[in-house]
Amino acid sequence: MIFGLEFPPLSHVVNWPEFVGDDTWGINKVVLVYFMAALLTMLIFILGNKKQLVPTGAQNLAEVAVEFVEDGIVMDTIGPKGVKYTPLLLSFFFFVFFCNIFEIIPVIQMPATARIALPMFLALFAYVVYHGSGFKEHGPFGYIKHALIVPGLPFALHFLVVPIEFVSKFLVQPFSHTVRLFANLLAGHILLVTFATLSSALWALGPGLVILPLPALAVVAFTAFELLVSFLQAYVFTLLAGVYIGAAISHEH
Amino acid sequence: MSLSVLAQEAAAAGIDNKGLAALTYGLGAIGPGIGIGYLVGQSVQAMARQPEAAGMVRTTMFLGIAFVEALALIGFVVFFLAQ
Protein backbone atom coordinates (compact mmCIF):
# COMPACT_ATOMS: atom_id res chain seq x y z
CA MET A 1 0.00 0.00 0.00
CA ILE A 2 2.61 2.53 1.09
CA PHE A 3 5.58 1.90 -1.19
CA GLY A 4 4.15 -1.53 -1.89
CA LEU A 5 4.27 -2.81 1.68
CA GLU A 6 1.43 -4.21 3.69
CA PHE A 7 0.32 -1.97 6.54
CA PRO A 8 -1.22 -3.99 9.37
CA PRO A 9 -4.99 -3.46 9.72
CA LEU A 10 -6.22 -1.44 12.67
CA SER A 11 -7.36 -4.51 14.58
CA HIS A 12 -3.78 -5.84 14.61
CA VAL A 13 -2.50 -2.56 15.96
CA VAL A 14 -4.75 -2.22 19.01
CA ASN A 15 -6.15 -5.73 19.70
CA TRP A 16 -4.12 -7.96 21.97
CA PRO A 17 -4.71 -11.65 22.67
CA GLU A 18 -5.68 -12.57 26.22
CA PHE A 19 -3.08 -14.17 28.48
CA VAL A 20 -5.80 -15.75 30.62
CA GLY A 21 -9.57 -15.79 30.46
CA ASP A 22 -11.97 -15.22 27.60
CA ASP A 23 -12.93 -12.29 25.43
CA THR A 24 -15.03 -10.48 28.04
CA TRP A 25 -13.21 -11.08 31.31
CA GLY A 26 -9.72 -11.95 30.13
CA ILE A 27 -6.48 -10.19 30.97
CA ASN A 28 -4.51 -8.89 28.02
CA LYS A 29 -1.75 -6.32 27.62
CA VAL A 30 -4.13 -3.35 27.88
CA VAL A 31 -5.61 -4.65 31.14
CA LEU A 32 -2.10 -5.11 32.52
CA VAL A 33 -1.37 -1.49 31.60
CA TYR A 34 -4.51 -0.45 33.54
CA PHE A 35 -3.27 -2.35 36.58
CA MET A 36 0.22 -0.89 36.34
CA ALA A 37 -1.09 2.66 35.94
CA ALA A 38 -3.44 2.23 38.90
CA LEU A 39 -0.62 0.77 40.98
CA LEU A 40 1.76 3.61 40.11
CA THR A 41 -0.90 6.21 40.91
CA MET A 42 -1.54 4.56 44.27
CA LEU A 43 2.20 4.38 44.95
CA ILE A 44 2.53 8.11 44.38
CA PHE A 45 -0.35 8.79 46.75
CA ILE A 46 1.06 6.45 49.42
CA LEU A 47 4.76 7.34 49.15
CA GLY A 48 4.03 11.03 48.71
CA ASN A 49 2.00 11.13 51.89
CA LYS A 50 5.04 11.59 54.15
CA LYS A 51 5.14 15.00 55.77
CA GLN A 52 8.85 15.67 56.21
CA LEU A 53 9.96 19.28 56.36
CA VAL A 54 12.68 18.66 53.78
CA PRO A 55 11.06 16.53 51.08
CA THR A 56 12.94 13.59 49.55
CA GLY A 57 12.17 11.17 46.73
CA ALA A 58 8.50 10.55 46.05
CA GLN A 59 7.47 13.37 48.38
CA ASN A 60 9.25 15.83 46.05
CA LEU A 61 7.31 14.58 43.05
CA ALA A 62 4.04 14.55 44.96
CA GLU A 63 4.51 18.12 46.19
CA VAL A 64 5.35 19.41 42.71
CA ALA A 65 2.35 17.59 41.27
CA VAL A 66 -0.07 18.84 43.93
CA GLU A 67 1.17 22.38 43.39
CA PHE A 68 0.81 22.00 39.62
CA VAL A 69 -2.74 20.68 39.83
CA GLU A 70 -3.85 23.06 42.56
CA ASP A 71 -2.38 26.29 41.18
CA GLY A 72 -2.49 25.49 37.48
CA ILE A 73 -5.84 23.75 37.22
CA VAL A 74 -8.06 24.05 40.29
CA MET A 75 -7.47 27.74 41.07
CA ASP A 76 -7.82 28.79 37.43
CA THR A 77 -10.95 26.83 36.65
CA ILE A 78 -12.95 26.34 39.86
CA GLY A 79 -11.55 28.89 42.30
CA PRO A 80 -10.74 28.60 46.01
CA LYS A 81 -13.81 26.50 46.84
CA GLY A 82 -12.58 23.83 44.44
CA VAL A 83 -9.70 22.74 46.66
CA LYS A 84 -11.69 19.70 47.78
CA TYR A 85 -11.60 18.44 44.17
CA THR A 86 -7.78 18.48 44.07
CA PRO A 87 -7.33 14.78 45.05
CA LEU A 88 -9.78 13.69 42.36
CA LEU A 89 -8.15 15.80 39.65
CA LEU A 90 -4.69 14.75 40.80
CA SER A 91 -5.59 11.08 40.49
CA PHE A 92 -7.16 11.75 37.07
CA PHE A 93 -3.94 13.42 35.99
CA PHE A 94 -1.63 10.67 37.18
CA PHE A 95 -3.78 7.78 36.02
CA VAL A 96 -4.28 9.20 32.53
CA PHE A 97 -0.61 10.16 32.31
CA PHE A 98 0.60 6.68 33.29
CA CYS A 99 -1.86 5.05 30.88
CA ASN A 100 -0.56 7.33 28.12
CA ILE A 101 3.13 7.01 28.87
CA PHE A 102 3.13 3.24 28.24
CA GLU A 103 2.82 4.26 24.59
CA ILE A 104 6.56 4.94 24.41
CA ILE A 105 7.95 2.59 27.06
CA PRO A 106 9.91 -0.08 25.17
CA VAL A 107 8.48 -3.62 25.01
CA ILE A 108 5.04 -2.45 26.17
CA GLN A 109 4.40 0.36 23.68
CA MET A 110 0.64 0.33 23.95
CA PRO A 111 -1.29 3.28 25.37
CA ALA A 112 -4.24 1.95 27.36
CA THR A 113 -6.15 5.09 26.41
CA ALA A 114 -6.03 4.10 22.72
CA ARG A 115 -8.91 1.72 23.49
CA ILE A 116 -12.06 3.78 23.93
CA ALA A 117 -13.22 1.89 27.05
CA LEU A 118 -10.91 3.69 29.46
CA PRO A 119 -11.41 7.29 28.23
CA MET A 120 -15.15 6.64 28.13
CA PHE A 121 -15.19 5.32 31.68
CA LEU A 122 -13.14 8.28 32.94
CA ALA A 123 -15.29 10.80 31.07
CA LEU A 124 -18.49 9.24 32.45
CA PHE A 125 -16.96 9.25 35.94
CA ALA A 126 -16.21 12.97 35.53
CA TYR A 127 -19.74 13.45 34.11
CA VAL A 128 -21.29 11.96 37.24
CA VAL A 129 -18.99 14.06 39.46
CA TYR A 130 -19.63 17.42 37.80
CA HIS A 131 -23.36 17.05 37.34
CA GLY A 132 -23.61 15.51 40.80
CA SER A 133 -21.80 18.42 42.42
CA GLY A 134 -23.94 20.83 40.38
CA PHE A 135 -27.14 19.22 41.68
CA LYS A 136 -25.73 19.28 45.21
CA GLU A 137 -24.76 22.95 44.91
CA HIS A 138 -27.92 24.36 43.32
CA GLY A 139 -30.61 21.78 44.12
CA PRO A 140 -32.37 19.79 41.35
CA PHE A 141 -34.44 22.56 39.73
CA GLY A 142 -31.89 25.22 40.46
CA TYR A 143 -29.18 23.24 38.68
CA ILE A 144 -31.26 22.59 35.57
CA LYS A 145 -32.07 26.29 35.44
CA HIS A 146 -28.40 27.16 36.01
CA ALA A 147 -27.21 24.75 33.31
CA LEU A 148 -29.76 25.44 30.60
CA ILE A 149 -30.84 29.08 30.90
CA VAL A 150 -28.36 31.74 29.88
CA PRO A 151 -29.13 34.89 31.87
CA GLY A 152 -29.82 38.17 30.12
CA LEU A 153 -31.23 36.86 26.85
CA PRO A 154 -34.44 38.14 25.21
CA PHE A 155 -37.36 35.82 25.99
CA ALA A 156 -37.85 34.44 22.47
CA LEU A 157 -34.22 33.37 22.15
CA HIS A 158 -34.58 30.91 25.03
CA PHE A 159 -36.51 28.56 22.71
CA LEU A 160 -33.36 28.36 20.60
CA VAL A 161 -30.72 28.42 23.31
CA VAL A 162 -32.14 25.91 25.83
CA PRO A 163 -32.06 22.92 23.41
CA ILE A 164 -28.57 23.88 22.26
CA GLU A 165 -27.34 24.13 25.85
CA PHE A 166 -29.00 20.82 26.73
CA VAL A 167 -27.37 18.96 23.83
CA SER A 168 -23.98 20.52 24.41
CA LYS A 169 -23.88 20.13 28.21
CA PHE A 170 -25.51 16.74 28.70
CA LEU A 171 -24.73 14.85 25.47
CA VAL A 172 -21.83 16.31 23.50
CA GLN A 173 -19.65 17.28 26.46
CA PRO A 174 -18.88 13.72 27.72
CA PHE A 175 -18.54 12.53 24.11
CA SER A 176 -15.94 15.13 23.17
CA HIS A 177 -14.20 14.64 26.52
CA THR A 178 -13.83 10.94 25.62
CA VAL A 179 -12.91 11.32 21.98
CA ARG A 180 -10.28 13.99 22.60
CA LEU A 181 -8.17 11.68 24.74
CA PHE A 182 -8.90 8.50 22.79
CA ALA A 183 -8.26 9.87 19.29
CA ASN A 184 -5.07 11.70 20.24
CA LEU A 185 -3.48 8.57 21.66
CA LEU A 186 -4.78 6.30 18.89
CA ALA A 187 -3.38 8.73 16.30
CA GLY A 188 -0.01 8.78 18.04
CA HIS A 189 0.08 4.99 18.28
CA ILE A 190 -0.76 4.59 14.58
CA LEU A 191 1.89 7.16 13.67
CA LEU A 192 4.56 5.22 15.56
CA VAL A 193 3.36 1.91 14.07
CA THR A 194 3.49 3.36 10.55
CA PHE A 195 7.08 4.52 10.79
CA ALA A 196 8.18 1.40 12.67
CA THR A 197 6.66 -0.72 9.89
CA LEU A 198 8.50 1.29 7.28
CA SER A 199 11.77 0.95 9.18
CA SER A 200 11.38 -2.79 9.58
CA ALA A 201 10.58 -3.16 5.87
CA LEU A 202 13.75 -1.25 5.01
CA TRP A 203 15.68 -3.43 7.46
CA ALA A 204 14.36 -6.50 5.69
CA LEU A 205 15.56 -5.10 2.35
CA GLY A 206 19.05 -4.70 3.75
CA PRO A 207 20.30 -3.74 7.22
CA GLY A 208 22.19 -0.75 5.84
CA LEU A 209 19.03 0.77 4.43
CA VAL A 210 17.44 1.40 7.82
CA ILE A 211 19.62 4.44 8.33
CA LEU A 212 17.85 6.09 5.37
CA PRO A 213 16.81 9.35 6.98
CA LEU A 214 13.04 9.45 7.03
CA PRO A 215 11.51 6.42 8.81
CA ALA A 216 14.13 5.65 11.47
CA LEU A 217 14.61 9.27 12.45
CA ALA A 218 10.84 9.80 12.34
CA VAL A 219 10.36 7.00 14.89
CA VAL A 220 12.82 8.72 17.23
CA ALA A 221 11.31 12.17 16.67
CA PHE A 222 7.73 11.00 17.08
CA THR A 223 8.62 9.07 20.23
CA ALA A 224 9.84 12.34 21.74
CA PHE A 225 6.71 14.07 20.43
CA GLU A 226 4.47 11.41 21.98
CA LEU A 227 6.11 11.98 25.36
CA LEU A 228 4.91 15.58 25.08
CA VAL A 229 1.48 14.47 23.87
CA SER A 230 0.98 12.04 26.76
CA PHE A 231 1.70 14.77 29.27
CA LEU A 232 -0.37 17.38 27.43
CA GLN A 233 -3.40 15.13 27.00
CA ALA A 234 -3.36 14.16 30.68
CA TYR A 235 -3.21 17.88 31.48
CA VAL A 236 -6.00 18.75 29.04
CA PHE A 237 -8.23 15.94 30.32
CA THR A 238 -7.77 17.12 33.91
CA LEU A 239 -8.17 20.79 32.94
CA LEU A 240 -11.46 20.07 31.16
CA ALA A 241 -12.76 18.04 34.10
CA GLY A 242 -11.92 21.09 36.24
CA VAL A 243 -13.66 23.47 33.83
CA TYR A 244 -16.81 21.32 33.79
CA ILE A 245 -16.88 21.13 37.60
CA GLY A 246 -16.29 24.89 37.76
CA ALA A 247 -19.14 25.58 35.34
CA ALA A 248 -21.46 23.31 37.30
CA ILE A 249 -20.89 24.81 40.76
CA SER A 250 -20.37 28.48 39.85
CA HIS A 251 -22.76 31.26 40.85
CA GLU A 252 -22.76 34.03 38.32
CA HIS A 253 -25.36 36.29 39.94
CA MET B 1 -28.53 13.40 -0.50
CA SER B 2 -27.91 10.70 2.06
CA LEU B 3 -24.51 9.24 2.79
CA SER B 4 -25.38 5.79 1.48
CA VAL B 5 -26.45 7.23 -1.89
CA LEU B 6 -23.17 9.13 -2.03
CA ALA B 7 -21.26 5.96 -1.19
CA GLN B 8 -23.10 4.00 -3.90
CA GLU B 9 -22.37 6.67 -6.49
CA ALA B 10 -18.73 6.74 -5.43
CA ALA B 11 -18.56 2.94 -5.73
CA ALA B 12 -20.16 3.12 -9.18
CA ALA B 13 -17.62 5.73 -10.24
CA GLY B 14 -14.80 3.44 -9.10
CA ILE B 15 -13.74 5.51 -6.08
CA ASP B 16 -13.14 3.32 -3.05
CA ASN B 17 -14.39 4.26 0.38
CA LYS B 18 -10.88 4.44 1.85
CA GLY B 19 -9.81 7.20 -0.50
CA LEU B 20 -13.02 9.13 0.19
CA ALA B 21 -12.57 8.74 3.93
CA ALA B 22 -8.98 9.96 3.73
CA LEU B 23 -10.03 12.92 1.58
CA THR B 24 -12.81 13.80 4.01
CA TYR B 25 -10.43 13.70 6.95
CA GLY B 26 -8.13 16.05 5.06
CA LEU B 27 -11.01 18.45 4.48
CA GLY B 28 -12.01 18.19 8.13
CA ALA B 29 -8.51 19.08 9.29
CA ILE B 30 -8.45 22.43 7.45
CA GLY B 31 -10.73 24.32 9.83
CA PRO B 32 -9.12 23.23 13.12
CA GLY B 33 -5.70 23.85 11.55
CA ILE B 34 -6.56 27.44 10.81
CA GLY B 35 -8.26 27.77 14.20
CA ILE B 36 -5.33 26.47 16.24
CA GLY B 37 -2.85 28.55 14.25
CA TYR B 38 -4.80 31.73 14.84
CA LEU B 39 -5.39 30.89 18.51
CA VAL B 40 -1.75 30.13 19.31
CA GLY B 41 -0.53 33.11 17.30
CA GLN B 42 -2.75 35.48 19.23
CA SER B 43 -1.79 33.86 22.54
CA VAL B 44 1.92 34.25 21.80
CA GLN B 45 1.29 37.89 20.95
CA ALA B 46 -0.58 38.37 24.21
CA MET B 47 2.21 36.68 26.19
CA ALA B 48 4.87 38.81 24.46
CA ARG B 49 3.00 42.00 25.19
CA GLN B 50 2.17 41.15 28.77
CA PRO B 51 4.59 38.55 30.15
CA GLU B 52 3.09 38.82 33.64
CA ALA B 53 -0.20 37.43 32.29
CA ALA B 54 1.55 34.48 30.58
CA GLY B 55 0.32 31.82 33.02
CA MET B 56 -3.32 32.75 32.63
CA VAL B 57 -3.05 33.09 28.87
CA ARG B 58 -1.38 29.68 28.63
CA THR B 59 -4.13 27.89 30.56
CA THR B 60 -6.81 29.53 28.44
CA MET B 61 -4.84 28.74 25.29
CA PHE B 62 -4.70 25.02 26.11
CA LEU B 63 -8.39 25.08 26.87
CA GLY B 64 -9.13 26.71 23.50
CA ILE B 65 -6.84 24.28 21.71
CA ALA B 66 -8.64 21.37 23.35
CA PHE B 67 -12.00 22.59 22.11
CA VAL B 68 -10.81 23.34 18.57
CA GLU B 69 -8.83 20.13 18.32
CA ALA B 70 -11.89 18.05 19.17
CA LEU B 71 -13.29 18.77 15.70
CA ALA B 72 -10.20 17.40 13.97
CA LEU B 73 -10.18 14.37 16.26
CA ILE B 74 -13.84 13.61 15.60
CA GLY B 75 -12.92 13.75 11.91
CA PHE B 76 -10.13 11.27 12.63
CA VAL B 77 -12.55 8.85 14.31
CA VAL B 78 -15.11 9.25 11.49
CA PHE B 79 -12.30 8.38 9.08
CA PHE B 80 -11.96 4.96 10.72
CA LEU B 81 -15.70 4.45 10.92
CA ALA B 82 -16.19 5.31 7.25
CA GLN B 83 -13.40 3.35 5.64
Spell out which residues of chain B touch residue A245, defining contact as CB-CB under 8 Å.
Answer: none
pLDDT of residue A119: 95
The CATH code that applies to domain B16-82 is: 1.20.20.10
Query: Which A residues in the span 87-126 are in contact with B, Cβ-Cβ below 8 Å?
Result: none
Answer whether B73 sits within 8 Å of A76, measured CB to CB. no
pLDDT of residue B12: 64
pLDDT of residue B1: 46
- Compare CB distances from B66 to A180, A182, A186 and report the shortest one's residue: A180
| Spatial separation of the C-alpha atoms in residues B35 and B57, rounded to whole Å | 16
Q: Quick one: average pLDDT of A132-148?
A: 91
Q: Where are the domains of chain B?
A: 16-82
pLDDT of residue A98: 95
Per residue in A40-97, pLDDT (tens digit) is 999 988 888 877 777 777 788 888 999 999 988 999 888 888 899 999 999 999 999 9
Tell whether the model's pLDDT for residue A214 goes beyond 70.
yes
Spell out which residues of chain A touch residue B29, defining contact as CB-CB under 8 Å.
Answer: none
| Spatial separation of the C-alpha atoms in residues A235 and A181, rounded to whole Å | 10
pLDDT of residue B3: 57
| Spatial separation of the C-alpha atoms in residues A137 and A123, rounded to whole Å | 21
Q: Return the DSSP state at B50.
A: -
pLDDT of residue A200: 80
Answer whether A243 sits within 8 Å of B63, measured CB to CB. yes
- Ranges under pLDDT 70 in chain B: 1-16
Per residue in A145-174, pLDDT (tens digit) is 998 888 888 888 889 999 999 999 999 999
Per residue in A9-56, pLDDT (tens digit) is 778 888 888 888 887 888 888 999 999 999 999 998 888 887 777 777
Q: Where are the domains of chain A?
A: 10-249
pLDDT of residue A2: 47
Tell whether the model's pLDDT for residue A1 goes beyond 50.
no
Per residue in A181-197, pLDDT (tens digit) is 999 999 999 888 888 88
